[in-house]
Amino acid sequence: MGLLYFSTLGDGGSRHAYAHAFTVTLMLNLVLSLLALAFVTPLRKAAAAAPVSA
Protein backbone atom coordinates (compact mmCIF):
# COMPACT_ATOMS: atom_id res chain seq x y z
CA MET A 1 0.00 0.00 0.00
CA GLY A 2 2.84 2.35 0.81
CA LEU A 3 4.45 1.72 -2.56
CA LEU A 4 1.21 2.58 -4.35
CA TYR A 5 0.67 5.65 -2.18
CA PHE A 6 4.10 7.14 -2.77
CA SER A 7 4.20 6.24 -6.46
CA THR A 8 0.83 7.94 -6.93
CA LEU A 9 1.98 10.92 -4.88
CA GLY A 10 5.07 11.38 -7.02
CA ASP A 11 6.78 14.73 -6.64
CA GLY A 12 3.57 16.55 -5.82
CA GLY A 13 3.58 18.28 -2.48
CA SER A 14 0.21 19.92 -2.68
CA ARG A 15 -2.84 19.01 -0.66
CA HIS A 16 -4.54 17.77 -3.81
CA ALA A 17 -1.68 15.35 -4.55
CA TYR A 18 -1.84 13.91 -1.03
CA ALA A 19 -5.62 13.60 -1.17
CA HIS A 20 -5.47 11.90 -4.57
CA ALA A 21 -2.81 9.42 -3.45
CA PHE A 22 -4.81 8.64 -0.31
CA THR A 23 -8.01 8.13 -2.32
CA VAL A 24 -6.33 5.77 -4.80
CA THR A 25 -4.78 3.74 -1.99
CA LEU A 26 -8.08 3.65 -0.09
CA MET A 27 -9.93 2.36 -3.18
CA LEU A 28 -7.38 -0.42 -3.70
CA ASN A 29 -7.69 -1.37 -0.04
CA LEU A 30 -11.48 -1.52 -0.40
CA VAL A 31 -11.28 -3.69 -3.52
CA LEU A 32 -8.84 -6.11 -1.87
CA SER A 33 -11.02 -6.32 1.25
CA LEU A 34 -14.12 -7.12 -0.80
CA LEU A 35 -12.19 -9.73 -2.76
CA ALA A 36 -11.05 -11.39 0.48
CA LEU A 37 -14.61 -11.27 1.80
CA ALA A 38 -15.83 -13.09 -1.33
CA PHE A 39 -13.59 -16.05 -0.43
CA VAL A 40 -14.73 -16.41 3.19
CA THR A 41 -17.87 -18.50 2.58
CA PRO A 42 -16.31 -20.93 0.06
CA LEU A 43 -13.31 -21.47 2.34
CA ARG A 44 -15.54 -22.15 5.35
CA LYS A 45 -17.54 -24.69 3.34
CA ALA A 46 -14.37 -26.38 2.16
CA ALA A 47 -12.97 -26.50 5.69
CA ALA A 48 -16.19 -28.00 7.04
CA ALA A 49 -16.23 -30.67 4.33
CA ALA A 50 -12.58 -31.65 4.80
CA PRO A 51 -11.98 -34.77 6.90
CA VAL A 52 -10.32 -34.21 10.24
CA SER A 53 -7.10 -36.17 10.67
CA ALA A 54 -5.23 -36.41 13.92
Residues 11-52: pLDDT tens digits?
A: 878 999 999 999 999 999 999 999 999 999 888 888 888 887
Q: pTM for this structure?
A: 0.71
Q: d(Cα 9, Cα 43) in Å, to the nearest integer?
A: 37
Tell me the residue ranges of DSSP E strands in the chain.
none
Q: What angle is formed at CA 24 by the lines to CA 30 and CA 4, rounded to 5 degrees?
A: 100
Cα end-to-end span (Å), the chain? 39
Q: Is the pLDDT of residue 54 over 70?
A: no
